[in-house]
Each structure stands twice: as C-alpha cells, then as structure tokens.
Amino acid sequence: MRTLITLLLFLAISAPLLAQSGAYALTNGRIETVTNGVIERGTLLIREGRIERIGENLAIPSDAEVIDCSGLTIYPGMIDAGTQLGLVEIGSLSETRDDSEMGDLTPQAQALTAVNPNSVAIPVTRVNGVTTVLTSPSGGLLPGTGALVNLYGYTPEQMNVAGVHVLRINFPGRGRGGWWDHRTDEEVEEEWRSRMDKLDEVWDRAETYARIDSAWSVGGEKRLPEYVPVIEALLPAIRREMLVMVEVNQASDIDSAIAWVQRRNLRAVLSGLREGWRCADKIAASGIPCIVGQVLTTPSRGSDRYDKPYANPGLLRKAGVQVALRTNDVENVRNLPFQAGFAAAYGMSREDALRAVTIEPARIFGVDSLLGSLEVGKQATLFVADGDPLEPSTSVRHLFINGWNVPLKSRHTDLYDEFLNRTP
C-alpha cells in the first residue's frame, strides 16, 4: 500500500504539465488569419475549444486567462498533409512499425486504429506549430485509409478531426527504385502494365459490388452481396463519400493517374508529385488538388536543375494547381514549416507557402470549416510565435490544439533541460 502511494505520488510529481482548457484571451498579438489578412495588433478569444472572437479592440471576458502576445504573432496550426506519424516509432525496428499491413490489397486497414497517441514524436512535432497531420499507411497497391489527426489527445478518436479518413492508392509507377534497379525498359513497362491491370480489375469488381450493394439496400428481392472486406472498403470511395489520395510521382504516371481518376469518377487528391512541375498544366486542367512533398529532396533526374524539388510547389501553383505540402516523414514532421519555407525561397509566394500548410490541406480534406485559418467559429488550433514560423530562428511560445493550451514540452526539450548543465 505504501509503495502504491509512493508510486502515485511519484507519478503526480513527474507527470508532464497537463494541457488546460477553458477561456483564453490572446491579447496584443499580430494575427495572421491566412484567409482574412493580417491584424497588426489584436485579440483572439478562445472558448470551449473554438475561436470565439477576433478583433482589434475586443473586451476581455472576465473569466478568460489572458496571454499577452505583444511582439508575437498568432497563426493557425500547421497541417502536414502526408506523414506516418503515430504509426512508426523507430524506423529500423519492424516491431515498432504499424504503417503497412500484409499484402498488396488492404484498403480495409485503417491508420487511425494504429495511431499511438503517446508516440514520443508527437510532442516533438507539435511544439513547432504543426498541430494536425494526415497519417497514412504506405505499402502495397491499396495500403488502407489514412486519418486526419490533431496532435493532442489520449485516444485516436479524440485526435481524429471530423472523422476524416482518406483512401490511399499507390498508383503503379514506371520509375525506378534507385541505382540498384536494373530492370530493362520492357520489364518496367510490363510490370507497370500488370499493376495497372490489377488496379483496374479490383476497381471493376468493386464497382459491380457497389451496384449489387446499392440494389440490395434499396430493398426488394435483391440479394445481399457476399462480404468481401477488401472490396467493401472501397465503397465509400466509389460513392464519392471518401476522398481518394493517389500517390504518384513520375510525369508519365501522373498523366495516367489523372486519366484514371477521371474515368473512375472519384473525389481525388494527388500526392507525392516529384515531377508534378513537368505536367503542371495537365494537373491544373484536371482541377485535382495536389499534396506535394518532400520539398527538401534531390532532383529525380541527373539532368534536372539542382533546385527543381524546391521549385516544384511554386511551379505547380503558378500553373493554377491547388497545392498542399507534406513532409512524408515521421520523426521530423516538425520540419514542415521549413518545407514551406524552401518552396517560398524558390518561387512560391510566402502567402501561398503558408496556405499550403494551413488552409489548403484543410480544404482538400474538407475540414476548412474547422481548421486552416483563424476565423470565428473554427477550432482553436493555433500557435503563437515570436516571428515568421517558416524561419528556423523563430520559436513557438504558445500552442492551442482544439482549445487545449498544450505545454511546449517534448523529449527533446526534456533532455535539453536535464543535460545542458548536467550534475554531477
């Protein structure tokens, strides 16, 4: 009993500072709303998890905790539109990886199931102002559904934003894996063709299944379809109830993917797009939005200009494509603002770069009524920084996720605090 009390006491003392919810007044701050311009000096009120008011001369409610933001700027939380955060803990240890289910066709696998709310990488990410991520499975042709999650919560359900799930398709590619890939052109083409046939076959069957299923649900004499989980999982996508995220990178594959998505009449977003700039006109004409990244990567061809990956988002934007950015990372999702910063340094406007990690992903995932900008009624998912968040010299000073005032602590800050002046 005594040990139990000691243990409880110990836990109470060493437990991390818990996040607080309630009414907050962020005063005297510069407010970058993203969608409605900048308020140079204003106040933002938070209540019950929402942004209650934004304005220049607001009265401070008596119950609100005041946070003086003089000299600081308030931004909406940044959204990384493609990660494996929460699914992978330590890259090289397969026991800690839950980002890939066995087999090529596992669309029924749901990332949200395996998101570990206590992943050490989550606090490391959010203290940089990245508050929301799409985390998705990776391997195979149809690896499963990704989930949009806020980076604060104790259960996956608490973290999941508006129940958003996205079906991922790894579109068959004609690119090579790397220098070790010695396949001939013919082999590459043949393999691509057989992957395409497989995808088409699955989709044809799923469309048939959807017809049977629809007929049955209308009632009458119709037969119940045989339960096939792989196919069942595709129904929301076929019925345009779920967004389809099509991972594709090489220029010729992007062409094929656009045609495929149009033929199948899907609500789609393209992701990856290393060579998106090569066919930016076609993407723009299709009206399909894009999740681009990594920006910080090497050119896909030896003949490409060194800065093509940096310039890629800007070139897509210039052609009229709707662009969101991603890190495609796990432990360093925190560097999302720098991916945006490089896009801005190489041709994208800073405004567009900021939008690409805030409102654009929110629009793509259909959560722009909740996230992506500072507007009354939206989730209070935001951060306060001492400068431009795309600059590495900037620090985040306050962080709110869904109205929770989240302490700016992580393993990285803990180790710093412990070891900076180590004793003994």
Cβ 421 to other proteins shortest distance, Å: 8
**Contact flag: residue 413 with other proteins (CB under 8 A):** yes
Cβ-proximal residues to 55 (8 Å cutoff; 6+ apart), any chain:
39, 42, 43
| Cβ density class 49-75: b for 16+ within 10 Å, e for less | bbbbbbeeeeeeeeebeebebeebbbb
Cβ 251 to other proteins shortest distance, Å: 8
**Contact flag: residue 256 with other proteins (CB under 8 A):** no
- Return the number of the residue (75 or 346) whose C-beta is nearest other proteins: 346
Phi, psi dihedrals of residue 291, rounded to the nearest 5°: -110, 110
**Contact flag: residue 220 with other proteins (CB under 8 A):** no
Cβ 414 to other proteins shortest distance, Å: 8
Cβ 389 to other proteins shortest distance, Å: 10
* Range 179-208, binding other proteins (CB under 8 A): 179, 185
Phi, psi dihedrals of residue 197, rounded to the nearest 5°: -60, -40
CB 399 within 8 A of CB 91: no
Candidate segments 17-25, 147-155, 170-178, 195-203, binder of other proteins by CB under 8 A: 170-178
CB 333 within 8 A of CB 130: yes
CB 251 within 8 A of CB 176: no
**Contact flag: residue 104 with other proteins (CB under 8 A):** no
- Return the number of the residue (291 or 371) whose C-beta is nearest other proteins: 291
- Please pick, from the candidates 177, 217, 218, 226, the single residue that binds other proteins as defined by CB under 8 A: 177
Candidate segments 108-116, 191-199, 257-265, 392-400, binder of other proteins by CB under 8 A: 392-400
Among the listed residues 163, 131, 128, 121, the one whose alpha carbon sits nearest the alpha carbon of residue 146: 163
Candidate segments 11-19, 68-76, 262-270, 271-279, binder of other proteins by CB under 8 A: 271-279
**Contact flag: residue 391 with other proteins (CB under 8 A):** yes
- Please pick, from the candidates 304, 397, 407, 408, the single residue that binds other proteins as defined by CB under 8 A: 304
What's the token pair of residue 16? 């991390």
Residue 63-92 contact track with other proteins, rule CB under 8 A, x = bound: --------------------------xxxx
Helix ranges, 219-248 (H)? 229-232, 235-238
- Please pick, from the candidates 191, 319, 408, 409, the single residue that binds other proteins as defined by CB under 8 A: 319
Please identify which residue in the block is written with the tokens 């967004």.
243
Give the bridge partners for 194, in sequence order: none
- Cβ neighbour number for residue 267 with a 10 Å cutoff: 17
